[in-house]
Structure 1
Amino acid sequence: MSAPDVVQIGPVTLIHGDAQEVLADYRGAADLLCTDHPYRLTSGGRGQTDGKTMTGIFDPEDYDNSGDLMVMAEWNRTGGPIYRALKPDADAYVMVNDKNLMLAAGAFLGAGFKFHNLLVWDKHGPTPNRWYMKHLEFVLYLWKGKGRPIRNLGSKQLFRADRPGLGNHKTEKPVALMRHYIENSSEPGDVVLDPYMGSGTTLVAAIEAGRAGLGIEIEREHFDTACRRVREALT
């Protein structure tokens, strides 16, 4: 891939490039990781291989990415570069679904992270599935170095927030969810890292929380969307 395109917008650095390559230049740069790692989804149907055989409420069109919905990042290649990009004492929030939970945990714990807790996002609207409809996603809450308590000790494992519309990204997460984690595990002015920033939700949440941001995105369309959303959040 060509040299990364770096855009600075206020306290936020946005980089168009491959996170595995870019992170090598940002060792010890961030105070907190908050990311929705790109992982492969399946449609929960019966024996399909192309994600197109289910119909009605089980139609996988909006939630199956067994095709080319996004560029995947293999779990076993991601933990180490992220670990090294964080400062000696740092927390990490990694979003994952149920089928990728063990793979993700193995990758990040193997890279040196320690496990704090398993958090849950209740997105209200269920994802159709033949083996119980899914309305939850999971968050690995990890730490590096010295652990520190969250700022709001009244926070529970479960956080409820409606899924946003799909206008910016097919797997977009709520700003409120990311802001909740950012405010609990960082201080004003800290740098929040999202190496798979997609349409920039984590960076928008960082701005709203008074933090700086460092985001990386490999797909140009999503990178441009993230730049637009960050500019809008700062106006």
Structure 2
Amino acid sequence: MTGGILQDITIGNCRLILGDCREVLPLLDEQADMLFCDVAYKLTSGGGAHQSMGGIFAKDRYDNSGLLMEVPAWEELGGPFLRACRPDADAYIMTNDKNLFRAGMAFEGAGWKFHNLLVWNKIRATRNQWYMKNLEFTIYLWKGKAAPINDCGSMQLFTLNAKKETEHPTEKPVDLIDQYIRNSSNQGDLVLDPMMGSGAALVAAMQSGRRSVGIEINPKWFKVAVERVARAVEARGGDATPRFAVGQQEAVT
């Protein structure tokens, strides 16, 4: 395979790549019309809450180090993401409150321009001694010439108590990403997710008639994304047969 691309599979109009996005992005042969990324960031470590927490923060899954997965520095991402998009493009970067300001400075420093701050109200809250956490944030950015969103009636706040579809610890709902994609791209456009996790953005792109490229560094979640995208394509009557890159073993490890 080429460079940092470990596996390269296409299902329907979705291309899924196993590899480190920092190595893969320069190898892509087409720039994206829009970018969505739920960046892997360090969570809050320490603290002295006495109540036991469950879910992704249960003691058997999270050691309170702040790390649920491999975490790159924000400053490593803004430039590669910028260059992977067309001259006029929007980007949606998800983060939590602790990383919001550093992420914004890193991406603006790389050349992105700030449009708006969007908020997802998850309804379900994570226990915290200094106000329970029920919100996640999306930094809405653009490069080149700014364009209005397709539905100017959309508001900053998106409220959804989303049911989890996979075991990915930071899975984001397809319906949330769907709104971003429909507002900042058109049918046939290419949507890029450099850290696709379980593939929610690719599912949203496919369901709205967009093409997509997703990159994932973790083989476990790459496999989950491949299976999830295949099910979604098949559910809409498409051909879910995986098409492997030339010279690649037809297996998902």
Q: Can you list the C-alpha shifts for 1:75-113, whole angstroms capped at 9, x where unaligned?
A: 010111010000000000000000000111011101100
* Cα contact 1:42–1:64 (8 A) shared by 2: no
Change (3 A) 1:63 1:163: farther
Give the letter for the 1:146 counterpart.
K
Give the letter for the 1:159 counterpart.
F
Give the letter for the 1:13 counterpart.
R
Return structure 1 stretches of 4+ with deviation > 4 angstroms: 62-65
Q: 2:125 maps to which residue?
A: 126
* Cα contact 1:4–1:22 (8 A) shared by 2: no
Q: Can you list the C-alpha shifts for 1:144-196, whole angstroms capped at 9, x where unaligned?
A: 10100011111000001113327330110110000010001100011110000
Give the letter for the 1:94 counterpart.
I
* Cα contact 1:94–1:139 (8 A) shared by 2: yes
Query: Structure 2 length normalisation: TM-score?
Result: 0.85
1:64: how far off? 7.1
Change (3 A) 1:67 1:95: closer
Distance in 1 between the 2:29 and 2:89 partners?
Answer: 13
Corresponding residue to 1:55 among 44, 48, 51:
51
Count the aligned residue pairs: 229
Give the letter for the 2:13 counterpart.
P
Q: Percent identity?
A: 52
* Cα contact 1:179–1:205 (8 A) shared by 2: yes
RMSD: 2.1
1:8: how far off? 1.0
1:147 aligns with 2:138: no
1:193 aligns with 2:189: no
Tell me, what secondary structure is at the counterpart of 1:56? coil
Corresponding residue to 2:12 among 5, 10, 16:
10
Q: 1:221 maps to which residue?
A: 220
Distance in 2 between the 1:138 and 1:124 partners?
Answer: 14
Change (3 A) 1:153 1:63: farther
Once the two structures are superposed, the pairs formed by residues 67-106 of structure 1 within 5 Å of their partners are 68-106=67-105
Tell me, what secondary structure is at the counterpart of 1:137? strand
1:70: how far off? 1.2
Q: 1:49 maps to which residue?
A: none
Give the letter for the 2:18 counterpart.
H
Change (3 A) 1:174 1:11: same
Tell me, what secondary structure is at the counterpart of 2:93? strand
User: Could you list the runs of 5+ residues in structure 1 that have no partner in the other structure?
Assistant: 47-52
* Cα contact 2:33–2:85 (8 A) shared by 1: yes
Change (3 A) 1:212 1:58: closer
Q: Can you list the C-alpha shifts for 1:123-148, whole angstroms capped at 9, x where unaligned?
A: 01001111000100000000010100
Query: Structure 1 length normalisation: TM-score?
Result: 0.91
Distance in 2 between the 1:15 and 1:222 partners?
Answer: 11
Tell me, what secondary structure is at the counterpart of 1:216? strand
Q: Can you list the C-alpha shifts for 1:175-232, whole angstroms capped at 9, x where unaligned?
A: 0000010001100011110000000001011011110111000000000011111111
Tell me, what secondary structure is at the counterpart of 2:137? strand
* Cα contact 2:45–2:66 (8 A) shared by 1: no
Tell me, what secondary structure is at the counterpart of 1:82? helix
User: Could you list the runs of 5+ residues in structure 2 that have no partner in the other structure?
Assistant: 235-253
1:56: how far off? 2.9
1:10: how far off? 1.3
